Amino acid sequence: MTKDGRAVTAQSEDFSAWYNEVITRAELADRGPVRGTMVIRPYGYRIWELLQEELDRRIKATGHQNAYFPLLVPASYLDREAEHVEGFAPELAVVTHAGGKELEESVVVRPTSETIIGEMMSRWISSHRDLPMLLNQWANVVRWELRPRTFLRTTEFLWQEGHTAHADAEDAMRETMLALRIYTEVARDVAAMPVVPGEKTPGERFAGAARTFTIESMMRDGKALQAGTSHYMGTNFARAFGIRYAAEDGRLETCHTTSWGMTTRMIGAVIMTHGDDRGLVLPPRLAPYQVVVVPIGRGEEIAAAAARVAERLAAAGVRVHVDDRPQHSPGYKYNEWELRGVPLRLELGPRDLAAASAVLAWRIGGEKENVALADLEEIVPRALDEFQDLLLRRAADFRAAATSAVDDWAGFRAAAADGWAAAFHCGEAACEQQIKAETAATARCVPNDAPEAEGTCVRCGRPSAYGKRVLFGRAY
Ligand SMILES: [Zn+2]
């Protein structure tokens, strides 16, 4: 409890404290003993599993196959792609000793798997008939974090990484955009996050990529969070690892590759997109429990009725939990499940039972209402769908209200102080750096669906480089 009796610090008071308290009190995660590592607790891990199921289904439905590559990668592999090694060197964990002696060649714990998958693709691809090669792996990776934040930046995190090889640029770009579309849909339809898909400016690209695309999401403190990325590598990795194929005319050609990833960071994004001063708010499609049933009073009759309700809802495909802990009052349970973000609560007491009804309460956005027990299989799934839609609408409204199109520097500073600024930019890295130094805002993306427009750079006045406005904001 905070000093004034609230379960967690108010968002407006200290957003960062609010975030950490929600994670701890909702039992999503704990800190690991090695700095920057996290332990994902069962309630948090279930959210990840639900996201994983939705994403994995879409990845497979679009023709990709799952595989698994080793955690340990020869250090020399990273050296083969100059920009890649430069980008990742500061974050690498390197194994120098094993089996009781110093290794002849150092081994790195994968920070990402382009190199080892590139090496294996070069062995598996020889003809145009082997293309496209569409692989995905679910794995953990390690990037040594200097400023760790649970779920957002952890030394070890979980993700999927798609890696594909194609005959030409056109096919590889089609794949890059397909992955971005999958991420956009999962964020919107599963996590209720109305993300902005777009391209990163050259200064924000993945190390070794020719083009990087992102989905950007607004958190409730107005900051941006990159929630998934899709990279077109050109032939950079294919040249470094010799991924070549014999074309139909027999000539040896170099493949074009892509990679794309979504991580446990999404859990942090869900917390900060939907949470409020009472704690977590979970979109039903990611909620470990979509409904909690709280029996009021201790009679056997009530307990049996609660169990029956749960059984019926489970049979209707609803994830339901009965909180029958005798040591806690109903009020205590209401607060706890609100803190843990459960979308719906059913209260069941003797009077309700006598009237063959229950009280349905929404975590946000609805009045308490009496519902007939006979209709639960119809009412609850519908309420869950409405709740899911409500969260998406609420997040979209919030983002719209905190995003401003600006054409002058004073307007930019004001917009970027607590939200996003849509502005013209010259495309120069030095100018982007200057903006970051003065406002802490970075170019989040050039939105794919922004209307074409011309203007002059909001900072330096040179002509716009992108033919549309760029989104800027402070970011996680
Ligand atoms: Zn400029």
The pLDDT-based confidence of 5 (bands split at 50, 70, 90) is low
Distance 223 CA to ligand 1 centre (A): 22
Q: Would you tell me how many other CB atoms lie within 10 Å of the CB of residue 420?
A: 26
Percent of the chain's residues with pLDDT above 90: 93
Distance 418 CA to ligand 1 centre (A): 22
Backbone angles phi, psi at 386, to 5 degrees: -65, -40
Distance 420 CA to ligand 1 centre (A): 17
Strand-pairing partners, residue 141, are: 157
**Which residues touch 226 (CB under 8 Å, ≥6 apart)?**
214, 215, 216, 217, 444, 475, 476
CA 273 to chain centre: 11
pLDDT at position 4 over 90: no
CA distances from 254 to 127, 211, 232, 239, 295 (A): 11, 18, 14, 7, 65
Closest CA to 471 of 196, 212, 87, 69: 196
Tell me the helix, strand and coil percentages in the chain, rounded to 5.
Answer: 40, 30, 35
Distance 214 CA to ligand 1 centre (A): 22
pLDDT (0 to 100) of residue 124: 98
Distance 319 CA to ligand 1 centre (A): 51
Distance 456 CA to ligand 1 centre (A): 8
Backbone angles phi, psi at 121, to 5 degrees: -60, -35
Distance 363 CA to ligand 1 centre (A): 45
Distance 425 CA to ligand 1 centre (A): 5
The pLDDT-based confidence of 89 (bands split at 50, 70, 90) is confident
Distance 442 CA to ligand 1 centre (A): 13
Which two three-digit tokens encode residue 8?
């967690």
Strand-pairing partners, residue 379, are: none
pLDDT (0 to 100) of residue 84: 77
The pLDDT-based confidence of 299 (bands split at 50, 70, 90) is confident
pLDDT (0 to 100) of residue 343: 98
Q: Which amino acid is at 455?
A: G
Q: Give the pLDDT confidence of 258-279 residue by residue, as tens digits.
A: 999 999 999 999 999 999 999 9
Q: Give the pLDDT confidence of 379-416 residue by residue, as tens digits.
A: 999 999 999 999 999 999 999 999 999 999 999 999 99
What domains lie within the chain, and their CATH numbers? 29-269 (3.30.930.10), 289-393 (3.40.50.800), 403-473 (3.30.110.30)
pLDDT at position 3 over 80: no
Average pLDDT over residues 29-46: 97
* Cβ atoms of residues 154 and 145 within 8 Å: yes
Distance 422 CA to ligand 1 centre (A): 14
Distance 169 CA to ligand 1 centre (A): 30
Distance 434 CA to ligand 1 centre (A): 9
Distance 472 CA to ligand 1 centre (A): 13
Distance 153 CA to ligand 1 centre (A): 30
pLDDT (0 to 100) of residue 2: 61
